[in-house]
A and B are shown apart, each in its own frame.
Chain A
Amino acid sequence: MRHVLEFDSIRLSFGGRMILCDVYMKCETGKITGLLGRNGQGKSCLFNIVYGELQAEEKSVRFDNVSVAQGFMRPDLLRFLPQFDIIPKSFTISRVFDDFGLDYRELEKRFPEFASKHRVAVGKLSGGQYRFIQTYVILKAESRFVILDEPFTHLMPLQIEKVIELIREEKENKGLLITDHLYRPIIEIAHRLYLLTDGKTHPVRTIDEMEELGYVAAVR
């Protein structure tokens, strides 16, 4: 069965400056939705509002047309990887996998660099491995939708490829909403793309459309 996450009517301002005012995004299970935008446009704020971590002046977040104000109370519906590290550094990898109900042997089998590291605290891993573990557990854990805020940060090109592979795999089971400054992989894997600029989301399809809205020219 197909499930839908939609949000709109979001208004957010800081000190009189309007950050978000005209947002509409739709994310479906089985699909990858990409959100692009330059620094400071409010992408992370938007995701935090959808997740319920940040209070907006107005918002409407709906799962299958049912309003859910605090997404973080429903990990069965939504999980969120912010752009920073969230796993307590003293936790071992096996502990984290146990918390998320995942099988560590599966990770070992697919990614031999983690072989026999189940008792290692995540804080002892390299920055890339630490980020990779976080992305892996959030992606793999059971949920209808997953938001990934800059999942490629701190990753080496080889690790980015692995994450893209995981994202493609997991989209079969859930709906994925992703943003990252590495816009090429996002454009490549996303079924639907939005560009956030001046507090508004614009559905976009081509690089030219992004250029018209002032995005690609800034990073080309």
Chain B
Amino acid sequence: MRLVKKIRLIGHFYRSFWLLSSLITAACMVLFWEYGFSIFSTLLWFKLATLFLIFRFIKSYKAREFYYYHNLGVSKLLLWGVTLSFDLLVYLILLFQVNRFR
């Protein structure tokens, strides 16, 4: 399967939780703006915990759709690995940007 198609499928999968995840990231950015690095580890754990909850929820809520991705050669590991890593990376980049402009 072409890489573009795989990226498109992963993108669609990410859309199932990006809004909730982005709201959590935005809330963390506001808190980081207020309190700075003193709460960085708390915010990081908070983000990781919410990602875990999202993972658990989507894993059961979308369980049947994973067969669609599998039939196209996209494994659960790839879906979760790429989307969660991307989400966390964006989160860290945004926090560091907030710190720059504080």
Which residues from chain A sit less than 8 Å from chain B, CB to CB? 51, 53, 72-76, 79-80, 82, 84-88, 91, 98-100, 138, 141
Give the nearest-CB partner of B68 in chain A.
Answer: A86
Beta-carbon contact of A141 and B71 below 8 Å: yes
Listed from nearest, the 9 A-B pairs whose CB atoms lie closest are A72-B70, A86-B67, A86-B68, A75-B73, A79-B71, A88-B65, A84-B64, A87-B68, A86-B64
A73 contacts which chain B residues (CB < 8 A)?
A: 70, 73, 75
Interface residues in B57-92 (C-beta closer than 8 Å to A): 64-65, 67-68, 70-73, 75
Q: Which of A80, A85, A100 contacts B64 (CB 8 A)?
A: A85
Binding site for A on B (CB under 8 A): 1, 5, 9, 12, 64-65, 67-68, 70-73, 75
Main secondary structure of the interface of A (DSSP, over half): loop
Contacts A79-B71, A87-B68, A100-B72 supplied; 9 other A-B pairs, CB < 8 Å:
A53-B70, A72-B70, A73-B75, A82-B64, A86-B68, A88-B12, A98-B5, A100-B71, A141-B71
Chain A residues with CB below 8 A from B65, complex form: 86-88
Which A-chain residue is minimally distant from B65 (CB atoms)? A88
- 24 A-B pairs within 8 Å (CB atoms) are namely A51-B70, A53-B67, A72-B70, A72-B75, A73-B75, A74-B73, A75-B70, A75-B71, A79-B71, A80-B67, A80-B71, A82-B67, A85-B64, A86-B64, A86-B65, A86-B67, A86-B68, A86-B71, A87-B65, A88-B65, A91-B12, A99-B5, A100-B72, A138-B71
**A88 contacts across to B, CB distance below 8 A:** 12, 65, 68
Residues of B within 8 A of A82 (CB): 64, 67
A190→B67 CA distance, assembly (Å): 25
Least Cβ–Cβ distance between B15 and chain A, in angstroms: 9
B72 touches A75 (CB 8 A): yes
